């Protein structure tokens, strides 16, 4: 009780108890209860059965593809998202607002539409596919197609997290660096990037998390060949269709645990970087 | 190193920031660019630094044209009003930055950098906070670090843009004295921008008064204060009383008072403005023929060593501010509402360039 009172009294803002209580209730209803249901359902399997279900070659291949393609997609988005944000913040050009709005489209589009559109373009007889085919590059119905779909849906995250940070950077800091003799590249690498890292990592984490959970756009372009281009969410659906509910939730649990661990790791990295870069209080 | 500014013009859209400015800044001097906000002083400083390009004209460093050269090559130290420190670097790394970004051949060794940075931090008396981050420092400390950082690259010129503008009054005063002492030690050609006349007069060797993109006067603090070249300089530097007057046959009349105005012997009945500082006003009980005018004491502020009087002219609706020493005030034994006679010790008369239609 004494402990409770002591850290409650630290805050001058009223309503701490109410706000925290509501937050926990809300998170429980929306996140914790549905997620714990997957664990409870999975518990129907014994430990051995669970292990066999989640380590079949088909399941292992699907994890590799899901997390691998999501990571590659998120990395691509980190690089190009930074570039897009840079162009949108630093330059003025005709149609800038249009480009700015375009960035959000992958959010708004139903993912199935995106998947069909991408497939139509990258199929061997599609607009881009017909030129790539003679070069020996197959996109549709291969893991490469999965990467492209996941890159597409993750685009807005890095742009939208980096953009406001970039806008807030004072031009004076760059001028100061130039006065001290730093080249453009040195200013970018040593003055701008340290300020952008936390936002870049947040953007990467969001894009990655979104890509791991993506289903709609991928199933059209992936071809869904077991062991080659089948993602874990699809494997879950397949198991559900076969009335193997416990097997489906088992794979869901594995995905949950891996995702949670990775996000925790990324958050930790971000905390470490922002601490190193002096945002801490004395 | 001397700086010469030749016929600089700069426009922002329809706004003329600098109108044909020419200025010589001799080597080793501390010059203040003084003026109200929007007068172009910061733009001029940024053009000297190379952070801004002029539309026309040249900037010469030590006689060599530097107009086209990049800010990196000019070897200027620039101190910003809001410090512009690198937030993610410690104080030490901030100061070391200019040394670390040098090309590999010219870069000093790590030990040399360390020695140099500590030397600079000692110079700004902040050696003990080398490991802190800018967010952990007070405003005054941040500005001193910004100065140490600018000095690290051994600039030929030090440019300061409202360096004390963001600090509170007490710190401001300390820091400007400290800057003066630092300049006396280092003798580096320095230019600082300010809108605070007290600051400019106290710190600078020379003051350049700017208004509306043009130079009003260049001179030592004494010169610009005691012999203002234009009505603007008179009004901008310190308190001043303004009388509307007329100049006729070489004399300006203010009530009973007549003053000779040099160079206007043939001027006929021209509108003029006469300026006198409050401390250049004498108060008398009796009129002196032709050198006083009558007024009533409206208000007395008798706080501190100086007694401030507010006077109303008897023959016009103008108010006059006068400052007396406490002794003189006691001698006169003034009360509010009494009639007295005002005698300006020194009065400057300017012909009004755009007289109001009477």
Cβ(B322)–Cβ(B340) below 8 Å: no
Q: Supply the pLDDT for residue B115.
A: 93
Do A28 and A85 share a domain, yes or no?
no
Minimal Cβ distance to B88: which of A181, A182, A277: A277
In a domain, A148, yes or no: yes
The CATH number that applies at residue A226 is: 1.10.3720.10
Contact B87 A277 (CB under 8 A): yes
* DSSP one-letter code for B304: S
Nearest CA in chain A to B133: A278
CB contacts of B101 in chain A (<8 Å) are: 177, 180-183, 186, 190
At B113 the pLDDT is 93
pLDDT (0 to 100) of residue B48: 92
Residues A272, A231 within the same domain: yes
Report helix, strand and coil shares of chain B as percent, to nearest 5.
Answer: 30, 35, 35
- Using DSSP's 3-state secondary structure scheme, residue B354 falls into coil
Determine contact, residues A268/A92, Cβ cutoff 8 Å. no
**How would you classify the pairing of strands B157-161 and B214-219?**
unpaired
Name the closest residue on chain A to residue B75, using Cα atoms.
Answer: A179
- Does residue A98 lie within any of the structural domains? yes
DSSP string across A104-115: THHHHS-HHHHH
Domain hosting residue A240, numbered range: 47-280
Closest-CA residue of A relative to B94 is A177
Cβ pair A278:B88 closer than 8 A: yes
> What does the pLDDT look like over B194-217, one tens digit per residue?
998 888 999 999 999 999 989 999
Check residue B217 and give its pLDDT. 92
For residues A252 and A137, membership in a common domain is answered with: yes
In a shared domain, residues A271 and A246: yes
pLDDT of B187 above 80: yes
Contacts of residue A182 in chain B, CB cutoff 8 Å? 72, 97-98, 101
| Chain B: closest CA distance from residue A109 (Å) | 39
How much is the ipTM here?
0.81
> Which of A180, A186, A276 is closest, CB to CB, to B149?
A180
The pLDDT, as a whole number, for residue A281 is: 40
Closest approach of B80 to chain A, Cα-based (Å): 8
Describe chain A by its helix, strand, coil percentages, rounded to 5.
Answer: 80, 0, 20
Tell whether A6 is covered by a domain.
no
Using left for φ > 0, alpha for ψ between -120 and 50, and beta otherwise, residue A177 falls in alpha
Centre a 10 Å sphere on the Cβ of residue A110 and count the other Cβ atoms it contains: 10
The answer on A51 and A36 residing in a single domain is: no
Q: Kindly state whether residues A32 and A85 are assigned to the same domain.
A: no
Asked if residue A201 is part of any domain, the answer here is yes
What pLDDT, on a 0 to 100 scale, did the predictor assign at position A7?
A: 54
Query: A4 lies in a domain?
Result: no
Does A116 reside within a domain? yes
Can you list the residues of chain A whose pLDDT is less than 70? 1-11, 276-282
Lowest mean pLDDT among A124-128, B1-5, B35-39, B340-344: A124-128
The answer to whether the Cβ–Cβ distance between B82 and A172 falls below 8 Å is: yes
Residues A84 and A35 placed together within one structural domain of the fold: no
| Mean of pLDDT values over B260-279 | 82
Whether residue A207 sits in one domain with residue A114: yes
Are A207 and A125 found together in one domain?
yes
What confidence score (pLDDT) does residue A118 get?
87
**Closest residue of chain B to A192, computed from CA coordinates:** B86
What is the predicted pLDDT for the residue at A277? 61
pLDDT at position A37:
87
Which H/E stretch holds residue A36? Answer: helix A33-42
Instruction: Please tell me the distance from the alpha carbon of residue A86 to that of residue A250, in angstroms, as a whole number.
Output: 42
Residue A282 pLDDT:
34
Q: Report, as an integer, the average pLDDT of B93-110.
A: 91
For all residues of chain B together, what is the average pLDDT? Answer: 88
**Is there a single domain that holds both residue A34 and residue A70?**
no
Judge if A25 and A164 occupy the same domain.
Answer: no
What is residue A68's predicted lDDT score, i.e. its pLDDT? 92
Q: Does A2 reside within a domain?
A: no
Structural domains in chain A (count): 2
- Contacts of residue B256, Cβ cutoff 8 Å, sequence gap at least 6: B287, B290, B292, B293, B294, B315
- Residues in chain B whose Cβ is within 8 Å of chain A: 49, 51, 70-72, 76-78, 80, 82, 84-90, 97-98, 101-102, 132-136, 146, 149-150, 152-153
């Amino acid at each position: 009780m004494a402990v409770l009172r002591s850290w409650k009294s630290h805050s001058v803002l009223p309503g701490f108890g109410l706000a925290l209580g509501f937050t926990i209730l809300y998170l429980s209803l929306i996140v914790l209860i549905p997620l714990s249901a997957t664990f409870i359902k999975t518990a129907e399997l014994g430990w051995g059965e669970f292990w066999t279900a989640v380590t079949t070659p088909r399941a292992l291949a699907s994890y590799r593809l899901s997390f691998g393609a999501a990571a590659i997609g998120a990395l691509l988005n980190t690089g190009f998202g930074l570039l897009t944000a840079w162009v949108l913040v630093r330059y003025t050009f005709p149609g800038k607002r249009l480009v700015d709005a375009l960035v959000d489209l992958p959010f708004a589009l139903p993912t199935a539409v995106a998947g069909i559109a991408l497939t139509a373009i990258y199929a061997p007889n599609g607009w881009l596919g017909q030129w790539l085919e003679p070069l020996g590059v197959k996109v549709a119905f291969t893991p490469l197609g999965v990467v492209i779909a996941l890159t597409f849906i993750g685009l807005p995250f890095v742009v939208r997290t980096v953009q406001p940070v970039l806008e807030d950077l004072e031009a004076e800091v760059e001028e100061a660096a130039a006065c001290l003799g730093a080249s453009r590249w040195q200013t970018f690498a040593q003055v701008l990037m340290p300020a952008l890292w936390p936002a870049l990592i947040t953007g990467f984490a969001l894009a990655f998390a979104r890509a791991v959970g993506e289903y709609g756009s991928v199933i059209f372009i992936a071809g869904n060949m077991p062991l080659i281009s089948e993602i874990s969410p699809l494997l879950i659906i397949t198991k559900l269709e076969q009335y193997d509910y416990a097997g489906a939730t088992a794979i869901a649990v594995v995905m949950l645990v891996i995702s949670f661990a990775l996000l925790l790791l990324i958050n930790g990295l971000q905390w470490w970087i922002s601490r190193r870069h002096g945002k801490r209080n004395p | 190193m001397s700086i010469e500014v030749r016929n600089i013009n700069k426009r922002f859209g329809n706004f003329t920031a600098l109108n044909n400015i020419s200025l010589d800044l001799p080597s080793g001097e501390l010059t203040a660019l003084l003026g109200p906000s929007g007068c172009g002083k910061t733009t001029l400083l940024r053009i000297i630094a190379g952070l801004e390009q002029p539309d026309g004209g040249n900037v010469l460093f030590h006689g060599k044209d530097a107009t086209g050269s990049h800010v990196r090559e000019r070897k200027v130290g620039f101190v910003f009003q809001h410090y512009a420190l690198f937030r993610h670097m410690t104080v030490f790394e901030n100061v070391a930055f200019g040394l670390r970004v040098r090309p590999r051949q010219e870069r000093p060794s790590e030990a040399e950098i360390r020695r140099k940075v500590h030397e600079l931090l000692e110079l700004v008396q902040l050696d003990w906070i080398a490991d802190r981050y800018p967010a952990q420092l007070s405003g005054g400390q941040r500005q001193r670090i910004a100065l140490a950082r600018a000095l690290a690259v051994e600039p030929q010129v030090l440019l300061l843009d409202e360096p004390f503008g963001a600090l509170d009054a007490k710190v401001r005063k300390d820091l400007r004295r400290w800057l003066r002492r630092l300049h006396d030690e280092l003798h580096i050609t320095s230019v600082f921008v300010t809108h605070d006349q007290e600051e400019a007069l106290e710190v600078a060797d020379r003051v350049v008064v700017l208004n509306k993109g043009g130079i009003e006067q260049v001179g030592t603090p004494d010169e610009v204060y005691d012999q203002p070249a234009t009505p603007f300089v008179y009004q901008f530097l310190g308190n001043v009383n303004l009388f509307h007057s007329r100049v006729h046959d070489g004399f300006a009349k203010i009530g009973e008072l007549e003053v000779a105005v040099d160079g206007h012997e043939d001027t006929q009945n021209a509108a003029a403005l006469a300026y006198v500082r409050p401390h250049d006003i004498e108060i008398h009980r009796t009129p002196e023929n032709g050198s006083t005018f009558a007024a009533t004491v409206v208000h007395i502020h008798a706080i501190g060593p100086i007694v401030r009087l507010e006077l109303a002219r008897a023959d016009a609706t103008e108010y006059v501010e006068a400052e007396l020493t406490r002794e003189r005030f006691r001698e006169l034994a003034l009360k509010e509402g009494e009639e007295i006679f005002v005698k300006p010790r020194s009065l400057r008369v300017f012909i009004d360039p755009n007289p109001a239609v009477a």
